[in-house]
Amino acid sequence: MNTDSGEQPENPPTQADPAPPATKQPRDPRRLATPLPLLMLGALGIVFGDIGTSPLYALQTVFSIHHNSVAPTEQDVLGVVSMVFWCLMLIVSIAYLGFILRADNEGEGGILSLAALIKRKLGAGSSRVKVVMVLAIIGAALFYGDSLITPAVSVLSAVEGLHVVSPELGPWVVPLAVVILATLFAVQRWGTGSIGRAFGPIMFVWFAVLALLGIPQIIANPTILRALSPTYAIDFALDRPLVAFIAAGAVVLAVTGVEALYADMGHFGRRPIVVAWFSIIFPALVLNYFGQGAMILVDPSAIENPFFRLAPDWAQMPLVVLATAATIIASQAVISGAFSVSRQATRLSLLPRLKVIQTSKRESGQIYVPAVNGILFIGVMALVLSFSSSQALASAYGLAVTATLLLELSLFLLLALEIWKWKLPWVLLTGLAIGGVEFALFSANVVKIASGGWLPLAIAAVLVTIMLTWKKGSALMFGRRAEMEGPIEDFVEEIGRAPVLRVPGVAVYPHGNPATAPLALRSNVDCNHILHEHVVIVTIKNLGVPHVSHDRRVVVSDLGRPDDGIVHVLYSIGFNDSQDVPSALRQAVGRTPELDFDPKEAMYIISVFRIEPGGDARMARWQKSLFRTLEKASANRTHVLHLPADRTTVMGETAEL
């Protein structure tokens, strides 16, 4: 479990816990040195991949057989296109780029990062923190559902362009989608840094093509420009409320991926994202959606696949290839996001230890999590093979997105009210204006639960259960272990009163609680009656921020006795930093006379806390069984803490749960 690995779970500092260094970090110097156009180009490939591929399926889904109450009439088309435009304007341009992107946690975004920021500002003892963490857990769980659905629906929608090229190619859609997705997941283990450099230029071409496809249709039928007025969306809703309500359930597909604007903010910063949106992405999306609407007004049969029908016959096959490349990029961004969220969740004690492989020596955000990659691969393959079309799968898509929008808005409004000290009327007005639109979209997707909306809910329910169980079990076992270990001050005093045999060497004990003595250290003294000449207790403390600079990570304490050879090293990290215990030791060496040795000679001794079935009534039997299963499935501590296998020893105790 997390508390055995050298991490410290979320608990208030103790007297033995030296004050951590200041956490306000300077801006990434590489980002500051990078010209704005290059940052914008990078953002095109990573931040906007999901929302940028929505034109492939958004309007097609609105007019599909699953929403057959929406007809390709002038009133319905103008109403739907107006709804799409104002959703992009209100939710993306105003809510996220205008407000939510300002709520960064030391430059990072995302619902878990936002929750960590609120917790740090309010204090762990605040009554609101539990509510914040529950909302963040639900949001993270919904994100995993989105991570499964996005690659499946995006790649399927692109490959379905083969139907337009030639109906005879239809049977190849699903097999080709399976091959593309299988290849995408297979290459994750080698990292995507070199491939990622091509993402920006490809997406720039994609957005240029979106605009070029839409402009001729708008020129041919400028009537569609009337949809810029919100009155057409309002009239549509008032004249045909039930039809408009059904349409809203699919219109939300136009803003899928908006949460990525926030979650991926740490890669580029807010300014490049905002400038890229208003100068490239937003105009391209609007021109394409309006072009699709203009074409449907002239040719109602185009609702079968309005995106690919925008292209002339000679360009349809190249467009399929380009769309496939764009959806692969969108899928890659979501998969990478799932890796990052998983690492954040483990640092917040919401998930068991996961094996995380750094795929880039320069970029800390480029990681590979084998367990998450495997689960996503199995889930995506199951979705593609069971739903077989983007239209069928789109019914399951909107619920996770709209629920996440509401959760992130709720946490943002709490931050604005409690920390930024916004006036209550302004908070209420913002909540009603933006939250009202988001709640209407969410409600329209609730009615689709039976037709596929149950899928993200089921995925989220499983993950929420896992996260809450792990968090509760970790807290219980952390307390149980603290009782067995005893205060570190008492242990040091005992060593001073009754000296034990000191043997040459350096023993490093990764330990999760700076207030207690490591189990392995106590066992070594009690059972073997020996103590190494140099004893270093290393505690990794997660500060709830994205990064902690190297010069601010290490705090050394002699635990009140400078002459006993026992030293405590507090190693502060962020949730995007590596839990590298040998690195912590190398940084600490030389700080005090007790730390004067060669770190290559150090032996690492891990305390293992085995959990056996017991009668603890504070958890239900099924929860205890699930917790024990998760603990057994946790990643090897030696790998997680980057310990050298040939110099690592394990010593343990047993407790019941």
CB atoms closer than 10 angstroms to residue 86: 20
CB atoms closer than 10 angstroms to residue 597: 16
DSSP 8-state assignment for residue 487: B
Q: Which residues contact 29 (CB under 8 A, 6 or more apart)?
A: none
d(CA 67, CA 545) in angstroms, rounded, equals 44
Q: Say whether 651 sits in a helix, a strand or coil.
A: strand
Given this model, what pLDDT does residue 217 score? 96
Given this model, what pLDDT does residue 291 score? 97
CA dihedral 148, 154, 155, 161 (to 10 degrees): 150
What pLDDT digit, counting tens, does each position of 111-132 carry?
988 998 898 888 877 778 889 9
Given this model, what pLDDT does residue 361 score? 63
State the pairing for strand pair 566-573/554-557: antiparallel
Given this model, what pLDDT does residue 196 score? 61
346 close to 353: Cβ distance less than 8 angstroms: yes
Structure tokens at 418: 């409690």
Q: Which residues contact 518 (CB under 8 A, 6 or more apart)?
A: 485, 509, 511, 537, 605, 607
Walk me through the domains of the chain, giving residue ranges and CATH numbers. Answer: 43-471 (1.20.1740.10), 487-656 (no CATH)
pTM (predicted TM-score): 0.83
User: Which amino acid belongs to residue 239?
Assistant: D
d(CA 135, CA 179) in angstroms, rounded, equals 36
User: Which amino acid belongs to residue 544?
Assistant: G
List, for the chain, all residue ranges whose pLDDT scores fall below the cut of 50: 1-27
Q: Pick the closest to residue 107 from 20, 24, 193, 200 (CA basis).
A: 24
CA 223 to chain centre: 41
What pLDDT digit, counting tens, does each position of 143-167 carry?
888 888 889 988 998 998 888 888 8
Q: Could you give phi then psi for residue 230, rounded to 5 degrees?
A: -70, -15
